[in-house]
Amino acid sequence: MSQPRVFLVDDHELIRSGIRSELTGSVDIIGEADEVDVAIEMILERTPDVVLLDVHMPGGGGIAVLRAVIEKVPAVRFLALSVSDASEDVIGVIRAGARGYVTKNISGPDLLDAIYRVAAGDAVFSPRLAGFVLDAFSLEGKILEAGDVDPELDQLTPRERQVLRLIARGYSYRDIGSELTISSKTVESHVSSVLRKLQLSNRHQLTNWVSERHLY
């Protein structure tokens, strides 16, 4: 696979230069922006494969960029990058369409791995995010409106649960594959399916977070 074309969005110059120096040579960095409006314009113009997106930015935050771009060019994939792994931040960007979420203290190789995975159309779950999903989809959890229960979207399969637990325990996709004796492609498809549920489910734990912060 050729090098993915990556675009950086972060309002801190220090963070951008740090990421740039870690990624240079391994990916093709085609631009960067430090403001929401500029970012939207440049991303729409250059259509990168992956956008590394800071969640907290003045002027609407990363979510504003996500919304504006995904509406017009759904092919652009987003990997959210933030100092905070507070659940409402995570859930906000994932439900707005990001394919993954990592914290800024992630190591260089791990970030690179995550970028390649997002570029390939897979989802990237940090252990914290996996734990959060297990919590939100817990069996005891209630669902917003009983009439709206969609078993396809509002429940995890036992296999998906297993995969998430292993991610939370710090296993890589390859380790998970050998632990469950399935291929890592299958692991990836389970994770992608969890991502879809996370984005579309009506479980009240998810909708609450979103509505409390007026994200919709």
The reply to whether 140 sits near another protein by the rule CB under 8 A is yes
Residue 149 CB, shortest distance to another protein, in Å, is: 20
Query: What letters, b where the CB count within 10 A reaches 16 and e where it falls short, cover 25-47?
Result: ebbebbbbbbebeebbebbeeee
Which of 74, 147, 158, 170 is close enough to bind another protein by CB under 8 A? Answer: 170
- Taking the C-alpha atoms of residue 98 and residue 79, their distance in angstroms, rounded to an integer, is 6
The SS3 call for residue 102 is strand
- Choose the binding region for another protein from 1-9, 71-79, 134-142, 188-196 (rule: CB under 8 A): 134-142
- Taking the C-alpha atoms of residue 106 and residue 103, their distance in angstroms, rounded to an integer, is 6
Residue 189 CB, shortest distance to another protein, in Å, is: 23
Which of 38, 86, 143, 149 is close enough to bind another protein by CB under 8 A? Answer: 86
**Binding-site string for another protein from residue 196 to residue 215, where x marks contact by CB under 8 A and - marks none:** --------------------
Which of 37, 135, 148, 150 is close enough to bind another protein by CB under 8 A? Answer: 135
Number of residues located near another protein, criterion CB under 8 A: 18
Residue 5 CB, shortest distance to another protein, in Å, is: 30
Of 62 and 131, the one with the shorter C-beta distance to another protein is 131
Query: What letters, b where the CB count within 10 A reaches 16 and e where it falls short, cover 145-176?
Result: eeeeeeeeebbbeeebbbbbebbbeebebeeb
The SS3 call for residue 194 is helix
52: left (phi over 0), alpha (psi -120 to 50) or beta: beta
> Per the structure block, which two tokens stand in for 210?
């979103």
| Cβ neighbours for 48, distance < 8 A, ≥ 6 positions apart | 4, 5, 6, 7, 30, 31, 76
**Binding-site string for another protein from residue 26 to residue 45, where x marks contact by CB under 8 A and - marks none:** --------------------
Q: Give me the residues that bind another protein (CB under 8 A), please.
A: 83-84, 86, 105, 127-128, 130-131, 134-135, 138-140, 165, 168-171
